[in-house]
Chains A and B, each alone.
Chain A
Amino acid sequence: MSNRIITPVKEFEDLLPQEYKDLVADGPFFAEKGVDDLGTFKEIMEQHPHCAGCGEALGMRLVLAGLPTPQDTLIIGTPGCSFFGLAQTALNYSNTAFGNQNAVASGLKRMLQIRYPDKHKDVVVMVGDGGIADIGLDYTLHSWFRKEKITTIMLDNEVYGNTGGQESGMSKEGKVLNMAPTGKKFPKIPVFELAKTSGCCYVAKVTIASPKKIGKVIRRAILIAREIGPTYVQLFTPCPTNLKFAPDQTLKVAKEAEKDYYPFEEFISDDAAAYLAKVEQAKGDGKS
């Protein structure tokens, strides 16, 4: 996609739905918007069928607001609840066979670099914890070993939400779920640590209780993936339906996790830090 493609042809402008016109006039495509601007512009995600109080829906909404250039972004998904919201989003979006997301993203990124040698096309994987830590772990790690210039975002709700509550590798040890009646038998898989040692040059861990941090780390992760190498963001997005808490408690659950076992963490390689300092200085941002 590009702003040229988004721009309606004059003759057909009137026929377009209001939501589309709003996106063109008031969305994040022609004027840069960020998480700070939420509530004052037309967001690129539309109404979606996620459960009330879904942490994953909130996480995606914040990530999407943080994309530096949505018109030049390609999102790669895989089965999981996230495809509900992503399918309702005004972005180039491709689903994949469960777990194949980082293999598909690698191919698309390489193809886009050939097709648009003078332009940044950001390839961003956004999928669930089961999609990354379980069935897609091999493809994910190999894309990092190969230093593919893509950003991987895990929406970690610590469960297979979409299929009714099986344990994932990211579920907490001892957690009882609909389809883990005696509790999970081993700790959360250390994907964050694996990312650091497997080739990612920027790695961040954050929760939906810190929206501005999400905006900052998404921007950093995407800018660094353009020039330096693979980046990974692990976002805690609790699921009221399967973790069985009331929908108005989602942020409280995230805040408590932040204090207890999901603290904000950021890792950046030396070359990525040097590059980031340069681009953040040029733009006058990066303050936190």
Chain B
Amino acid sequence: MMGVRVAEDKCIGCKICIYACPEPNVIKLTDSKKVTIECIKCKSCLLCVSACPKKALTKDEA
């Protein structure tokens, strides 16, 4: 499956990835100020991965 994995320990909740994703309602901020990604709607463009300043996102190869 396509998708992106979030390393929660690295994510600072800055939302830059959310402003970078061309797909609506895919990356969400949780109550604990980390992001979650609904991979079933993700097109694996990897714009969020390139945009994240903390390298908290990686392509999910699984």
Contact = CB atoms under 8 A, between A and B. Distances in A.
Contacts of B28: 39-40
Contacts of A57: 22-23
Interface string A17-54: 00000000000000000010011101101111010111
B24 A251 contact: no
B54 to A, nearest CB: 16
A248 interface: yes
B55 interface: no
A50 B24 CA distance: 11
A42 to B, nearest CB: 7
A39 B24 contact: no
Contact of A52 (B25, B29, B45, B49): B45
A248 B45 CA distance: 5
Contacts, number: 67
B22 A47 contact: no
A244 to B, nearest CB: 15
A192 B20 CA distance: 25
A248 B35 contact: no
Interface in A207-235: 211-212
B50 A249 contact: yes
Nearest to A248: B46
A55 B18 contact: no
Q: Which 6 A-B pairs have the closest CB atoms?
A: A53-B45, A248-B46, A52-B43, A57-B22, A52-B45, A39-B18
Interface of B: 15, 18-25, 27-29, 35, 41, 43-47, 49-51
Given A47-B41, A212-B19, A248-B46, 14 more contacts: A38-B18, A39-B18, A40-B28, A47-B23, A52-B22, A52-B44, A58-B22, A61-B21, A247-B45, A248-B47, A248-B49, A248-B50, A249-B50, A251-B51
